[in-house]
Structure 1
Amino acid sequence: MLSHDGHVHTPFCPHGTADTLAAYAEEARKKGLSGLTFTEHAPLPASFQDPVPGGDSAMHPDELFPYLEAVERIKQEYRGSLTILSGLEVDYIHGWEKETKALLQEAGPYLDDSILSVHFLQTDSRWHCIDFSREAFEAAALDAGGRGPLYHLYYETLLQAIQADLGPYKPARLGHITLIRKFQHAFDQQVDDTPRIREVLHHLAAAGMQLDANTAGRYKPECREMYPPETFVQEAAGMDIPVVYGSDAHRSDHTGADIQSVASLLD
């Protein structure tokens, strides 16, 4: 039975809420969880320009160690009643592998658990954050030559993330592998990405990485499904890929959201 939320954000997230670490921990206890992993967005490489207006995709570099120290304090506070792990959600940005590896080398000794995710894609003209807004997604698709080519670019980047040499502290888990579907219901015609999702799962299995079974997409009005959808979570489990439930909570009351529905997929 699943009882650990492996993807939880914090007040250190510049696009999240001010809910305290203790508020997330209390919500986890309220819902009967045994533990959670705080996985705040790791600072982006200094030479990478965040394409999001306001540049609020991730923590400022100066906040990295205050964040890790805050998580360590809450770990001690809840020791014996809740297992709290220290983690990061690290962006894989193609071309910035060296800088990402350096970040992990610095923070890795203080981490228990982390996630590697793809939010940023580069078209011929510029970088895009594909999950920021429908308008940002549409701009990325236009630059890429359509939604089909943008989906292709996304899954190719996931494969690069799986294969990337990010050193001994490379995150063990790949985050929300169907994030590209976040705005799928904004369009009449769907992109059939089933073969690409299965390709990613096969590479995950070969690399011995974990899958983030992320329920946040269910609450996005133009997505309305988890990342990845249930059938792929079951396929992953059948391939012996370790499946780790994650709420991707950016507010405390979302901690543990839909955990039992994910658990039922793995029974």
Structure 2
Amino acid sequence: MRIDIHNHTTRCNHAEGTIDEYIQRAIELGIDVYGFSEHAPMDFDPHYRLAFEEMDAYRNDIFEAREKYKEKIDILFGYEVDYLPGHMDERVLGEEVDYFIGSVHFIDKWSFDNPEFLSGWKDRDVDEIWEAYFEAIEAMAKFGRFDIAGHLDLIKVFKYLPKHDIRLLAKDALKAIKKADMVMELNAAGLRKPIGEIYPSKLLLEEAYELDIPITFGSDAHTPSQVGFAYEEITALAKEVGYTKAVTFRQRDRMLVTF
């Protein structure tokens, strides 16, 4: 079964293409389960996410598409929620979804993966940034409201790499993900970024495998051409590490399937 459940729509204000175009591309590629997980609204950084007043329209769009294409593909409805204490909202977290992806895009409100704020890397110690990032991932898992840990090592995006062993930096975060019974995604978007590497790295995926953390797959598409991006590469990495099954969802219930 081919799974791709981390994807966006134009409602996030930094994507292109219609919902139909995303789904039709997924069908062309033989994807069985395709999920929309729009950047959830919050009262911070509003230009890169859905607005609160668009939540009903977003839901309606996805449910209409689910019905329209039900004979060809399974369409899932979710949100990618930024873990940012004080800014997450019950209007989102109380939604009836198929899954929530919990992601960290901010360290002390610094958008470390946004090219507009690249200069922030020059003012801080890289190892300290990595430590703070994985502390935030650990806290995100302990928050206990998410189903999937999004792009685990997004912090590597611009190739600012730590001197310390990445496995040690991520150890407590991975243990928290396991304890929270979360799924971890293999996200192909890193191959489109300066790092040129899947999220997470093979080293961290091996650590997750040893902890028996289940996985799922996402292309993090922001254009229809990115749907299913590098699917063969991410599934090959998963198999190389030892995984043979992946998770899909419906109404937050997990199903383990062979990929």
Shorter-normalised TM-score: what interval? Answer: 0.7 to 0.9
Which of residues 176, 192, 195 in structure 2 aligns to 1:203? 176
Q: Which amino acid aligns with 2:119?
A: E
Match of 1:171 among 146, 156, 173: 146
Q: Is the 8 A contact 1:128 1:140 kept in 2?
A: no
Residue 126 of structure 2 is matched in structure 1 by: 147
* Cα offset, 1:102, TM superposition: 4.3
TM-score by length of 2: 0.85
2:252 alignment partner in structure 1: none
Given that 1:141 and 1:150 are in contact with CA atoms closer than 8 Å, whether structure 2 keeps it comes out as no
Q: Give the structure 2 partner of residue 214 of structure 1.
A: 187
For residues 22 and 190 of structure 1, the distance between their equivalents in structure 2, rounded to whole angstroms, comes to: 45
CA contact (8 A) 2:187 2:218 kept: yes
| Residue aligning to 2:76 | 85
After superposition, the Cα gap between the structure-2 partners of 1:74 and 1:257, relative to the gap in structure 1 and judged at 3 Å, is same
Q: Deviations over 1:183-231 (max 9, x none)?
A: 016x7x75642212233222211211010110100111x2110110134
Which string of whole-angstrom CA distances, capped at 9 and with x for unpartnered residues, describes residues 73-117 of structure 1? Answer: 000001121000001101110233xx4344311xx22x1122011
Task: Determine the C-alpha separation between the residues in 2 that align with 1:182 and 1:132.
Answer: 9
* SS of equivalent residue, structure 2 residue 172: helix
Q: Percent identity?
A: 28
Counterpart CA distance in 2 for 1:13 and 1:39 is 10
In structure 2, the gaps of 5 or more residues are 245-259
Superposed, 1:1-267 pairs within 5 Å as: 2-17=1-16, 19-44=17-42, 46=43, 48=44, 50=45, 55-96=46-87, 99-105=88-94, 108-109=95-96, 111-122=97-108, 127-133=109-115, 136-139=117-120, 142=123, 145-165=124-144, 170-184=145-159, 192-220=165-193, 222-264=194-236, 265=238, 266-267=243-244
1:223 is matched by which residue type in structure 2?
I
Partners of 1:191 and 1:240 in 2: CA distance: 24
SS in 1 for 2:26: helix
| TM-score, normalised with respect to structure 1 | 0.83
- The amino acid that maps onto 1:178 is D
Q: CA RMSD in A?
A: 1.9
In 2: Cα distance, 1:194 partner to 1:121 partner:
20
**Against the structure 1 CA distance between its residues 147 and 115, is the aligned structure 2 distance closer, same or farther, given a 3 Å change threshold?**
same
For structure 1, the 5+ residue unaligned runs are none
**Residues 205, 241 of structure 1: 8 Å contact kept:** yes
